[in-house]
Structure 1
C-alpha cells in the first residue's frame, strides 16, 4: 500500500493507492507498506530512485544497509514492532532520503509510524521537508521505545515483588508456584524486548552516525541540532535498556534460587521420610520371612511388640533430625 504526504496551502494532503507521477513528485513523504511491483515501479520512475527489495533490506552487512547514491541516502535498520499485542518482533525498514522526498519501505507497522501519521495530520508543519519528516519520525520511534522500556520495567517490578512476597509469606503452594511462574515468564519477555530494543537503538545510532559523517546536503543546517538531540536520547535509552537487562538477569537468578530452595525442601522431606521408614521396613522384612523355626512366632504378644518396635524405629530418626535442626 502506498501512502503519500504533501502540504498544500498549509494543509496536509494525504493520498492512498498508486499515484500519478506528478502526484508522487510533489509528495514530501511516501510510505510504502508491503509495496506491490506496480507501486515500486511508479515511485522509481517518478523520483528516479532504486527502491531496495525485501531481500536486500534483510542483508546484515553495513555496506548494504547504509550507502549513498548521488545525493540520495539509503538507510536500513531493524525496528521493534508488535509489543502491544504480544506478537512482537523486529522488521527491517528502509529510509530513502533525497532532496525531493522521503521514501519509507516496510513490511510491518511499528506503532510509532501510526502515531506519527496522526501527528502529521494534526500538525502539517512536520511534513515541511523530507529530512524533517525522517528526523521527527526518529523522534517518535525513540519516544515509543522509551515508553516500552518504562512499561517492561514496571512489569518486571510487579512480577518480582509478587514472587518475593509469596516466597516470604505463608501462602498456598499453588499461589506461590503461580507467582514464580509468572515472574519467570515476565523476566523472559523483558529480556527479549530489551534485546530487540537494543537492536533498534543500535540501528538508529548507525543511521545517525552515517548521516552526520556523510555531511549530506539532504540534511538542512537547521536540522543538525535535532540530530544531536536524537543521538543523546538514543544513548540514554541504550544505557537504560542495559540497566533493565542486567536487573532482569539478577532477578531471574533470584527467582531460580527461590525455586531451587523450594525443590530442596521437597527433596529433604522425601529423604527424611525414606530414612524414617527404613528401620520399620527392615523389622517387617525380618518377621515376614517364612522360616519354620522362628521363636517370636510363638509369643502371644509378638505382633503388638513388632508394631511398637516399628513405630519406635520410625520416630527415633525423626526426633534425631529435629534435634540436629535438619527439619
Structure 2
C-alpha cells in the first residue's frame, strides 16, 4: 500500500494509492507498506530511484544497509513492533532520503509509525523537509522504545516480587499453585529478555543511521536539524544503557528463580532420600523373618510377631531422629 503526504496551504494532505507522477514528485513523505510491483515502479519512474528489494533489506552487513547513490541515501535498520499485541518481532525498514522527499519501505507497522502518521496529519510542521520528517520519525521511535522499556521494567519488578513472595511463603502455598506461579515468572522473564534484546537491536540500528547521516550532514541535513541529531544520539545512548541494565537484571532474576526451583527440587529429593533410608532397617528385619528356614526360634515365640513390628518401628524412627539432630531435616 502506498501513502503519500504533502503539505499544501499549511495543512497536511494524505493520499492512498498510486497518484500521478507529479504528485509523487511534490510529496514530502512517501510511505510504502508491503508495496506491490506497480507501486515500486511508479516511485522509481517518478523519482528516478532504484528501490531496494525485501531481500536486500534483510542484509546484515553495513555496506548493504547504509549506502549512498548520487544524491540519495539508503538507510535500513531493524525496528521492534507488535509489543502491545504480544506477538512482537523485528522488521527491517528502509529510509530513502534526498533533498526532495523521504521514502519509507516497510513490511510491518511499528506503533511509532502509525502514531507519527496521525501526528503528521494534525501537525504539518513535522513535514517541513525530508530530513526533518525522518528525524521526527526517529524521535517518535525513541519515545516509543522508552515507553516499552519502562513497561518491561515494571513487568520484571512484578515477576521479581511474585517469585520471592512465593519462595518466602513456601510452606503455606500449595505445590501446584507455586509451580504455576514459578512458570509464569519464567515466561515473563523470557519475554522481558526477548523484548529488551530486540529493542537494543533497534537502538543499535538507529545509532548506525544517525552516525552515518552525521557524516553526510552538510548535504542531507539542514543546519537547524543538527541539534536534533545530537539530542537523538544522546537519547539513544541512554536507552541502550537502560536496555543493558534491564537485560542484566532479567538474567539475575532468571538465575534467582532457577535457584529457588533447584532448592525446591533438592528438598523433594532429600525427603525421598530420608524415606528410603528410614525404610531400609525395617525392610532388613522383614527380610530376615521372611526367610523359610526350619529352625528360627522367634517363629515359635508367642510375642515374636509384635516384637518384630516393634523392632521395625524403632529401626525406622532412629534414623529420622538422627537426621533431625544433625540438622538435615
Question: Where does residue 56 of structure 2 map in the other structure?
Answer: 56
CA distance in 2, matches of 1:221, 1:288: 99
Pairing 1:257–2:245 present? no
Q: Which secondary structure does the structure 2 equivalent of 1:217 belong to?
A: helix
TM-score by length of 2: 0.98
Pairing 1:234–2:236 present? yes
CA distance in 1, matches of 2:214, 2:36: 33
Question: Where does residue 69 of structure 1 map in the other structure?
Answer: 69
Question: Where does residue 186 of structure 2 map in the other structure?
Answer: 184
The total of aligned residue pairs comes to 327
CA distance in 1, matches of 2:153, 2:39: 41
Equivalent residues of 1:71, 1:216 under 8 A apart: no
Q: CA deviation at 1:171?
A: 2.2
Which sits farther off after the overlay, 177-186 or 58-67? Answer: 177-186
Q: Kindly provide the CA deviation profile for residues 42-72 of structure 1, in whole angstroms up to 9, marking residues without a partner as x.
A: 0001111111000110111111110111111
CA distance in 2, matches of 1:246, 1:225: 32
CA distance in 2, matches of 1:87, 1:15: 30
Q: CA deviation at 1:9?
A: 0.5
Question: Where does residue 27 of structure 1 map in the other structure?
Answer: 27
5 Å-filtered alignment, 1:134-153, equals 134-153=134-153
Q: Which secondary structure does the structure 1 equivalent of 2:63 belong to?
A: helix
Q: CA deviation at 1:132?
A: 0.8
Pairing 1:321–2:323 present? yes
Question: Where does residue 166 of structure 1 map in the other structure?
Answer: 166
Q: Which secondary structure does the structure 1 equivalent of 2:220 belong to?
A: coil
TM-score by length of 1: 0.98
Q: CA deviation at 1:216?
A: 4.5
CA distance in 1, matches of 2:48, 2:145: 34
Question: Where does residue 312 of structure 1 map in the other structure?
Answer: 314
Pairing 1:18–2:18 present? yes
Q: Kindly provide the CA deviation profile for residues 280-322 of structure 1, in whole angstroms up to 9, marking residues without a partner as x.
A: 0111111111222222111111111111110111011001111
Equivalent residues of 2:93, 2:107 under 8 A apart: yes
Equivalent residues of 2:207, 2:233 under 8 A apart: yes
Pairing 1:42–2:32 present? no
Question: Where does residue 245 of structure 1 map in the other structure?
Answer: 247
Equivalent residues of 2:193, 2:250 under 8 A apart: yes
CA distance in 2, matches of 1:51, 1:23: 18
CA distance in 2, matches of 1:301, 1:21: 111
